[in-house]
Every structure is written in structure tokens, then in C-alpha cells.
Structure 1
Amino acid sequence: MLKNWIAAGALALTAGMTTTAAFAQTTTVPGEQVGLATGAPLPEGVYALNTFVYRSNDFNPAGAGVDVAVNVPVIVWSTPWVPLGGRLELLVAPPTVFAFGRGGGATGVRDLSINVGTFVGGIWAFDLGGNFGVSLLGGAYLNDLNGDRGLLVANNGTPLNPLGAVLGQLSSNTYRIGVAGSYTGDGWNLTANLTYNFYDTPARFENANAIARTFLYRPSDALNLDLTATKKFDLFNEGKAKFEFGAIGYGTVNLDTSASTLAFNNRGYFALGGLIGYDFGLFTAQAYVAHYVASDRRAYGNGDITEGWFRVIVPLYSPTPAPAPAPIVRKY
């Protein structure tokens, strides 16, 4: 059952963004699918998934630095339809980004939250046999409908970006495609997941004020890679492998870092870390921590960055198997 619950993470969708244009990156947060057998098809049913990440930046210029968090609740319907042998899985996810100012003075950044456009999409997942699976994902973050422009404000109430947006990539719908492959035999989860984000560019916030609408934003297309190598163990001889341990890695590459884009001189980064998980029966919990080992951001003096993650996966509904027909007994 744990394998099936973790496979639900194939549908975990989020927005991973920073709080200044200089940090602009892919809308799908790198690492958001780590620890999940994203190539494995889900059994028919309905699943709930929540993933939370907190990003701590060691760089804190004059008390004006910020930490960033993202929360992503997801509802997944793994349908009974299996065209060409691949399970169709539909999903919806409304992510939220939070920023927490690290300076306590009047000029420190006030805490804020930003709504990301709701993601709608689906996955076509195939069981290839031999504990191997592959999946294809497609969908869009509907930022043009409900993406939040977001404003930075100092603790004394002074706007820090009165005209521009905190997350310029939300000026356009984000279109997402992905491919994943998983091996899940003998308690292992060996998964690689490649995600591509692309945008309408240039774009602007149509629901902003007249001055802000004059600003054009040019998000960079980006590629994310999430890697998982974990194994489940029966540590207390319970007859079931409930504990999960292993290594994870993830990163992103911005494909256009020219001066006209939000990703100016920010090629991307890669992080490495470890994961633990436990199957509680009614739900599964996972936690993982990763540290940047390579990043263009250090050229800006942004220092080292550590990210901590927590995830809960809950199956809400699965069809009740039809009872076996009663045997016909005849007496002679």
C-alpha cells in the first residue's frame, strides 16, 4: 500500500518561486516530486496530498533578507480509464507562496503570501512490468485567472516594489509537461523525473493597476530534474516495511539568462540531501532536507541555501472490490 500512496506524488504540483526578480525561476518548484514514485501508475481512487517546503537563505543583507515557503494541497482522481494500457489520472492543485522577512527593523520585509494560479492537468501512467513504470504529465497553472501579483512591503508600510511584481513568472499561464520513470521492486524507489515549464512571453499582469500593466515580464523556460533513491525497511519485525530512508537530489536550469529575462545571469542550481518516511497505516509522512551544492546565485552574494520539506499522503477513496460469486452447490 505504501508504494501506491507514494505513487500519488506523481501528481504533486506546485510553484517554487523566490521573492525577487533576481531569483526568478521555474514555476514548478525543483524537488517537489522527490521521494515519490512518479513513474508508477496509481490504483483507481481519490487521493489527497500536501507538500510543504521552507527555504532558508544564509544571506541577510542589512536585515532585509527573506525566507520562502511553499504549500501545495493536491486532490487526485485516478480514473478507471486505461487507454492503451495507461492509467489516466486527473488533478487540481492551488499552491501558495509565503515570504518571511528576516529583519525586525522598520526597513525589514513584512511577511506576505502570494496565490499561484491553480494547476489543472493529468498524467498518463504505464506499468511496464518487472516493477518498472513510466508516466507522461501535462497541464497548466492558470495564472491569468487567479495568479497573485504580490507586493513587498517594509515593516513601516513602505512599498518596496510598488510597480513591479514579486513573482514575475505569474504574469503568464505556466504550461507544464513532464516525463518520469520509476523502479519500485523489493522496497526500492528509484525514480527520475524531468519537468519542463514554458510561458507566454512577454506577458503582463492584466488585473494590476494601470501603471503596473505597462511592465512586460519575460520568464525563462526551464527544466527541472528530481532524483530519488530510497528503500523501505521493516525495522521492528512488524511484517511490513514501514520505514523509508535514502538519498535525493534535485535542480533546475533556466534556458534563457539574457538581460531581458527574469532569469538574468541565473542559470540555476542543484541540491543534494536525504529523506526519511514512515507508513502510519491511514496515511504516509515523509520529510527531507537538501542543501545547494551548485548555484549561480552565489555570484550575487546570496550565500548557501538549505531547504526542508514535509509531505503527507492520504488515500481518500478506493472502489470496493466486487464480492466473489458464491459457489453453486448441488446435492445428488
Structure 2
Amino acid sequence: MPCRTSKAARLGLAAACALGLACSAAQGGSAAQPGQTVGLPTGAQLPVGLYLVNLSSFGQRETWPLRSESNVNLPTFAWSTPWNLADARLQFFLTQPVAAASARGAPYQSGIGQPLLAAQLAWDLGNDVGVSYLFGGYLPIETRFLTQSASLSHRFAVSYTGDGWNLTANLLYGLFLESRSPLGTLYPDYLNLDLTATRKFGKWQVGAVAFGSTDLPTGIGSPRPQGQIAAGGLVGYNFGPVTLQAYLTRDVVERNYGGPETRGWLRAIVPFYQDTGEVEPNRALVTRRQAE
């Protein structure tokens, strides 16, 4: 459905499409950045402690006539408590995104993204298998080139972390509380799937990662739903106690984003304190010691 917008508004909507974190009146995207959890054993219990996990990524999308670029930073505080609920470890997360984008060669826009507040239950099933459920919410903001409306986030993960492996699938389901922003931007609900298959060799960790995302039907107007499938490789190193991970992904399928994206990612995991009795030596990831 056509509409009239100012040049500034068009730039803002185009930048949002470049980020893949927001949507225009004709296009949508997830509140959670697709691919943001790959490389982590999100189904496993963290050792009791407090952590800073910072993920920074830079991507270039092959839009016409000029490329679109975006930088997304996702600093997260994670608190793994000593408390159990329904035989699961209770864990809390706070994420405050900061993003910048340039759409088709336009000047960069930058701003604060939606903070995420979430709680997670993580079950240790034995035999190095863990499952988790996370429930949280993205709070509303007024940064116009990013998603503005509040939404709920459900995440279901399963991980195998035996023999140095990290085999993880994390399904993210986002549900917007309002279908449109005050500016008329349409926000469809979404599904993201983040996949990890890595193995550690001493302090090193290498393997493959992939992720997919898709907008869900809205029943409103005639939106052009966005979607993508990306794949790549990951390498990590445990400096003890800080762990670094880097991965590179490339879209193999994209729908209504304007072109495929290549994105580089860098993650730092910094424990402020840990229950050392639960931490395995020389692990390339921060995970709880699984039961024998």
C-alpha cells in the first residue's frame, strides 16, 4: 500500500531494513538480531556467576545501487543464580543494543536499541544434554530507525556439550504487542533459528554455524515478509578466564532484504565471578560441568 514519506523518514526506514532489526511499512524484521546466539550452548546451564557477554557485528548487504552497512553491538549481563525452580537453574539476562546503519551509501545513523529483560530456566538432563526456556521482553524506545514497539521473546534451546562438542539449536519466537508503530511501521511476529556445531581442541574451538529467520503472517495489509538463511564458520579461543569467538556468515537465501549480506561477528565472554567448582579447565566456552 503506497504512502507518502519525507526524505528523512525514507532514510530511516531504509536503514532499518539494512539492519534487519526493524521494519518499514512494507517490510518486516525480527526484534532479535538473527544469528546473535550462534556459538553459545544456550541449552546448557551456566556455572553460577555473573558474566558480561558482548557481541559486536558488522555487515554489508549488496543492495542496489550502493551497499548498505550496519554495525550492531549487543552487550549482555548474564546472572546464573544458585537457585533452582522446577529442577532447573534460574538465570537472568539484560541486553542493551547499540546500532548504527548506512542505507545504500547514505550517512550513518546511530542510536540505542530496545533493551531486553529476560529470565531463563535451564535443565541438566544428564549425559551432557541440556534444554532451556527463556522468556523476556523488548522494551519500547523512540529510536526511529530501529524497532520501537514492545515485544515478547520466547526461546527454546537444546544443547549437547559432551566430548568437547557444542551442538546447539535455539528457536526464537517473537510476538509484538502492537502490530504498528506510531509512525505506521508494520511489525510482524517472527521466528529465528540459530544453529551451532563446533568442537574444542585444547583451548581452541572451531566449527560451523548457521541461522535462519522469517516474518510470520500478519493478516494486515499486503506486507512483503522478510527472511534469510545464512551459514559460516566459527573459531574461538579460551584465554582463561576470558573467551573470544569470531565467526563469519553469508546469506545463502534472502527474501525482501534487497540483497545477500556478509557479516563478521566478534564475541567476548568475561566472567566477573564464577563458582569454580562448576567450571571445567581449558573449555573453549563458558558452560556448566555436565553430570557424569
TM bucket (normalised to shorter chain) is 0.7 to 0.9
Q: Quote how far apart the aligned CAs of 1:101 are.
A: 5.2
Distance 1:270 1:286 in 2: 21
1:292, distance to aligned residue in structure 2 (A): 0.7
Structure 2 residue 152 is matched with structure 1 residue 175 = yes
Cα distance in structure 2, aligned partners of 1:82 and 1:135: 13
Q: Which residue of 1 aligns with 2:142?
A: 148
User: 1:89-147, CA deviations, whole angstroms, 9 ceiling, x for partnerless residues?
Assistant: 012111112113563xxxxx21111222211111100110000000000000111xxx1
Q: Distance in 2 between matches of 1:117 and 1:223?
A: 18
Q: Larger Rg: 1 or 2?
A: 1
Q: TM-score normalised to the size of structure 1?
A: 0.73
1:59 counterpart letter in structure 2: T
Which of 30, 42, 49 is 1:45 aligned to?
A: 49
Does the 8 Å CA contact 1:90/1:123 hold for their aligned counterparts? Answer: yes
Q: How does 1:102-251 map to 2 (within 5 A)?
A: 103=105, 109-143=106-140, 147-150=141-144, 166-167=145-146, 169-170=147-148, 172-205=149-182, 215-233=183-201, 241-251=202-212
Identity of aligned residues (%): 39
Pairwise CA RMSD: 2.1
Instruction: Return the match for 1:71 from 70, 73, 80.
Output: 73
Quote how far apart the aligned CAs of 1:319 are. Answer: 4.6
Per the alignment, in what secondary structure is the counterpart of residue 186 of structure 1? helix
* 2:6 corresponds to: none
1:316 to partner: Cα distance: 0.5
Q: Give the direction of change, closer, same or farther, for the CA distance of 1:216–1:100 in structure 2 (3 Å limit).
A: closer
Looking at secondary structure, tell me which structure has more strand per residue: 2
Change (3 A) 1:231 1:320: closer
SS of residue paired to 2:86: helix
1:55 CA displacement: 1.5
Relative to total residues, which structure has the larger helix share, 1 or 2?
1
Q: Name stretches of at least 5 consecutive residues in structure 2 with no aligned partner.
A: 1-18, 278-292
CA-CA distance at 1:83 after TM superposition: 1.7
Assess if the C-alpha contact under 8 Å between 2:78 and 2:92 holds in 1: yes
> Corresponding residue for 2:243?
284
> How many residues matched?
259
Report SS of the residue matched to 2:188: coil
For 2:270 and 2:59, the matched residues in 1 are separated by 25
What are structure 1's unaligned runs of at least 5 residues? 1-14, 104-108, 151-165, 206-214, 234-240, 322-332
Query: For residue 5 of structure 2, what is the aligned residue in structure 1?
Result: none
Alpha-carbon distance in 2 for matches of 1:67, 1:19:
16
- CA gap of 1:303–1:16, structure 2 versus 1, over 3 A, is closer
- Matched position secondary structure for 2:133: strand
